[in-house]
Structure 1
Amino acid sequence: MNERAIHNHSLPLVLLGGTLCNGRLWLPMLETLNASHVISITLEGADSTESFAQQLLSTLPPRFCVVGFSLGAMVALQMLADAPQRIAGMALLSVNPLADDPNNAPSRREAVKEARRQGLGTWLTATMWPRYVAPAHLEREVLHRTLVQMAEESGVETFAKQTEVAISRQDKRAALATFTAPTLIINGAHDPICTPHHHQLAAEAAACAQQITFSDCGHFLPLEAPERLASSLRNWLKEIIT
């Protein structure tokens, strides 16, 4: 049965995808969410959270709700630090609120070189696919094809810039500590990239946040459990607009 529409015309729902993602990330979830005003943004063209935040804040409506996934969650936190008055509610999915370990930079940049050499689809399948989803979802061919398709559509140059965003990000927990609007933090229990510990740190830092763990999901919970995610986001969005 279709959910009743959520009329959020006055507070658009802004969706920020992650590394090597585009609008395909959200399509299964949006089928169930049924919100009236959604803005889906692919993160490309900038190489820092600060640049992305400035770019987005200059074009988005005066007030909005934001859902950030992985790299998109990092950018959402930067937007929160820069303009908290613009954000009516925040949902962070598969988030790491900490600054990146400087020791990660060489391996991150080497991954870009390998993706360029092998091709994004081949590299992702061999290197990231086992880390992207829960073990129980490794046989889901449609899910795998969607991730490969998004990566190939994004391209290596976008991957290189997104990698620099991840490397240069800063700890944004202080922004969460002063934000009192509805905040939702969701993670997958089988995520080795943005771990349960990272989400616990985010939840502990937040002034008021609901934390939810999807026990059978990994990093890519928008595609691993889209209907469940839609249900959680509907409840959060209704809290904001009522």
Structure 2
Amino acid sequence: MARAMISATGRPVDRGDAGKGGFRLDDWSQHLRGSAARRQRRPNFSGLWRNAGHGMMPAATLAGRAAITTAVLLPGNMCDARLWSGGGSMVAAVLAARGFGAAHAGMLDQSTIADMAAAVLARVPGRLLPIGFSMGGIVALEMTRQAPERIAGLVLVDTNAGADLPERSAVRPVQQARVRAGALPTIVADELKPTYLAAANRGDTALKDLLFDMAMGLGDDVFCAQSEALRTRADLGPVLDGFADPVLFAVGAEDALCPPDWHAAMAARCARATLRVIDGAGHMLPLERPHELAAAIGRWLDDIGEMP
């Protein structure tokens, strides 16, 4: 069930982006290590792809539709397009039912957030509604900074507008070196993904396998590029201060990485913000509670009416 948070005080305390960790779920770590040797590398779904039933289309097909607001789905750290597949691609279905074209952002393999944002802006033409999860939310804010005239609104999911903390910035190069030495499976199993799920979802083997497969499919080079982009990112909070169009913040009630109070403080900086806190989800809200997230987006679109 989604809860609307009515008010908030203060500013978010920046504790870094998704991808910080240190917690261990030993059962999951053992499961992932045991299955990794048997698992073949899955296809990389991070490029643009088409799902006609839910309105998905590659950016190339949008070239003649620049006047239409297109929802662009931006994945998080070490996630691909499968992030948005939850509940039978419910988010895409909600968008299509309201007349939105939708495109996946494509591969976010650049080594700066600014370059990621520029790449998405170049891939997907026209007026945009960025829907960004975690790192994707950071990219969405940078897109807004670079091309505010193209952004009709924002949906920011389990994200953080702040710069990286010094202690996180110090850890990332160490992780990058370990990944280049072959430790990506260990880092994903022990340091990253175990912190992402609500308590009730930590036994969901299929969900955990999907998270692991997305990371393994993207591989070492993407990990290092994204880690460096997160390490060097700017504080994008001022983008919220100056953004006059509608913003939806959605966050899992059990998100320990980018918690609800951060989102309340970010929402307080915006002229037209709505905040939904969704029970039964941790950081991986698009996969943990896809129906509830889709419903929150649908209600928000209905409430604001026509995109500005």
What TM-score do the two structures reach when normalised by structure 1? 0.90
Question: Within 1, Cα distance between the matches of 2:280 and 2:217?
Answer: 28
Match of 1:231 in 2: 295
Match of 1:109 in 2: 173
Is residue 277 of structure 2 the alignment partner of residue 219 of structure 1? no
Percent identity among equivalent residues? Answer: 31
Is the Cα contact below 8 Å between 1:173 and 1:206 reproduced in 2?
A: no
Q: 1:145 to 1:129 in 2, by over 3 A?
A: same
Match of 2:43 in 1: none
Residue of 73, 79, 89 corresponding to 1:15? 73
Question: Within 1, Cα distance between the matches of 2:224 and 2:69?
Answer: 33
Q: Which has the larger radius of gyration?
A: 2
Q: 1:184 to 1:159 in 2, by over 3 A?
A: same
Match of 1:142 in 2: 206
Which moves more between the two structures, 108-117 or 176-185? 108-117
- RMSD across aligned C-alpha pairs, in angstroms? 2.2
Is residue 227 of structure 2 the alignment partner of residue 163 of structure 1? yes
Q: What pairs with 1:162-241 in structure 2 (closer than 5 Å)?
A: 162-238=226-302, 239-241=304-306
Q: What pairs with 1:34-113 in structure 2 (closer than 5 Å)?
A: 34=93, 35-36=95-96, 37-113=101-177
As a proportion of its length, which structure holds more helix? 1
Residue type matched to 1:79 in 2? M
In the TM superposition, residue 191 of structure 1 has moved relative to its aligned partner by 1.7
Q: 1:153 to 1:188 in 2, by over 3 A?
A: same
Q: Deviations over 1:205-239 (max 9, x none)?
A: 11110011113211110000011111111223343
Q: Which consecutive residues of structure 1, in runs of 5 or more, have no partner in the other structure?
A: none
Provide the secondary structure at the position in 2 that maps to 1:130: helix
Question: Within 2, Cα distance between the matches of 1:122 and 1:102?
Answer: 23
Q: Deviations over 1:71-91 (max 9, x none)?
A: 110010011111111011100
Residue type matched to 1:211 in 2? L
In the TM superposition, residue 192 of structure 1 has moved relative to its aligned partner by 2.0
Residue type matched to 1:125 in 2? A
